[in-house]
Amino acid sequence: MKPIYFVSVLMPSLLSVSSIQAQPLIEVEHNQAKQLVSEGKIVSLDFALTHMKRYCAGKLLDAHLYQNQGNWHYDLQLRSDAGEMISLSIDATTGKPQQYTQLPIACRIDKK
């Protein structure tokens, strides 16, 4: 009986710790994004796409701006020139790929 009681007492505290660590992504609406660009907090989507095309050519299919733990990023979905679907996460403050993201084979920083 004691182990079951111990687990039942411990479980609510574990749930509260995990809910603190798992913060939801906050998606930003178009008008809010325009305001962030005008305030200089993020680069425009156009700027990020222009920078991205240097190393990853393709047609933009979808784009979203998110804030996660104080960091802004664009999540992009592209179709490469070869027809491959590409998902990228771009740092919205610099327009560059996020450092922890491994780029797909179709996208390489060292492309000319």
User: Span 79-107, mean pLDDT?
Assistant: 82
User: Is residue 80 classed exposed, middle or buried when 0-12, 13-18 and 19+ CB atoms within 10 A define those classes?
Assistant: middle
Q: Are 72 and 82 in contact (CB under 8 A)?
A: no
Average pLDDT value for the chain: 76
Say whether pLDDT at 36 is over 70.
yes
User: Span 45-53, mean pLDDT?
Assistant: 90
Q: What is the pLDDT of residue 100?
A: 61
Edge-to-edge order in the sheet of strand 26-27 = 26-27, 58-68, 71-80, 85-91
Q: What is the pLDDT of residue 23?
A: 55
Residue 79 CB partners (closer than 8 Å, separation 6+) = 58, 59, 61, 85, 86
